[in-house]
Amino acid sequence: MTMPSYRDLFARNYGIFSEVEQEKLRRAKILIVGCGGIGGTVAIILARSGVGRFVLVDFDQYEPTNMNRQIVCFADTIGRNKAEVIGEQILKINPEAEVEIHDRLLNHAEIAVLITGVDIVFPAADDFAFSILIFRDAQRLGKMALLAVPSGTWANVCLISPHGPPVEDLEGVPKLKTYEELRCMFQTRKYKFGTYDYPLRADWRIDYYRGFIEDDLPPAQLCPSVWLCSSLAAVEVIKHLTGRWKPVVAPRYWMMTKNRIRIQRINGLSVQTLLVVQRKLLWHVFQTRLGPGLEFLQNLWWRLFYRWMKYHQK
C-alpha cells in the first residue's frame, strides 16, 4: 500500500487552516517532559492535528494504575517506557513525524538545553516541583510554556509566556529557590491542607483526600477530565503555533469543573484567588513564631472539616 502523504492525512484540517498555517504545525517542535496522563494525551492530540516534531522525556514505565486515564496504556504496554510508547504511536499517526526520545531522568540543565531548540515547552511531570523549575527555565530562555493541571473533575489550563506571570502566581506556590525546597514544601502536611478544595471542587472522596494528606496517596484522576483538560491544552498550543486565534495566556486561564468551563484571571474575584492568597500567606506565617499556633488551629480545622465532609458524602 502506498504511504499517504502529509496532506492526505490531514486533509480535513485544510478546511480550517490555510496552507501556511498547517505548515506552521508541521514544522513546529514541542518538548513534553512527562508523557503520562496529561503529557501523553496532549502529544497524541497534537500528532493527530499535524504537529510534526516532538521531543519526549520520561523515565517512567506504564503500570496498572495508569490504565484509568493514560491514552496508550494497554495490557501490552504495561512495563514499557512511556516516552517510547508515545513516540511509536506518533509515528503510526504520521510516519513523517520527527520524534526524539529521552527515556531516562534528565536534570534541569539537560532539559534547559532541549528548551532552546523547541517552539513550546510542556512541563507535565508528576513531580510538580520538578515542573516548576522547567517553567522557570522556559521563561528565562524566552519560550512559551503550557500549563495543564487536572485533579479529579477540576483543571487549570493556560499558556505561560516569557514576560507574563509565573506559574506560581496561578497555582499559589511560594517562590522558593531550589527544587529541594519546593519538593519538601509539597510533601509537607501543613501545605497540603491548602488543597482542601479538592473534595469541594474536584470531587475527591474525603477518605481518599485524607490518604493524600496523611499517607501520600497520588492525586485522584478521572479519564474524561484528564482528556478534556488535554484537549483544551492542545487547542491552546495550536492557537499559539498557527497564530490563527488568540490563545489563553496567563494572567488569563481556563478553569474547568464538572459543571462548566470558563476563563478566569489571576487575582480576579474567584475561589481560586482566595486559595492562592491563602496558600502563599499561610506558608510564610508558618515560618514565623506564629507557626506552631497556626498549625494547632489547622489541625483542629482539619478534624472538623473531615467530619463535616464525611457526613455530607454519606
74 in a structural domain: yes
In this predicted structure, what is the pLDDT of residue 102?
Answer: 98
Number of domains within the chain: 1
Vertex 216, ends 211 and 220: CA angle to 5°? 65
Question: Chain-wide mean pLDDT for the chain?
Answer: 94
Which residue type occupies 178?
A: T
Percent of the chain with pLDDT over 90: 81
**Residue 115: pLDDT over 90:** yes
**Residue 313: pLDDT over 90:** no
Helices (H) and strands (E) in the chain, counts: 14, 8
- Determine phi and psi for 121, rounding to 5 degrees: -120, 135
* CATH code, domain carrying 64: 3.40.50.720
Query: Using CA atoms, how far apart are residues 145 and 134, in angstroms rounded to an integer?
Result: 9
115 in a structural domain: yes
Which residue type occupies 305?
A: F
Which of the four pLDDT bands, split at 50, 70 and 90, describes residue 1?
Answer: low
Query: Using CA atoms, how far apart are residues 129 and 256, in angstroms rounded to an integer?
Result: 22
User: Are 126 and 34 a contacting pair, CB within 8 Å?
Assistant: yes
In this predicted structure, what is the pLDDT of residue 288?
Answer: 87
80 in a structural domain: yes
1 in a structural domain: no
pTM of the model: 0.95
Which residue type occupies 62?
A: Y
Query: Using CA atoms, how far apart are residues 228 and 209, in angstroms rounded to an integer?
Result: 23
Full domain range(s) for residue 49:
6-313
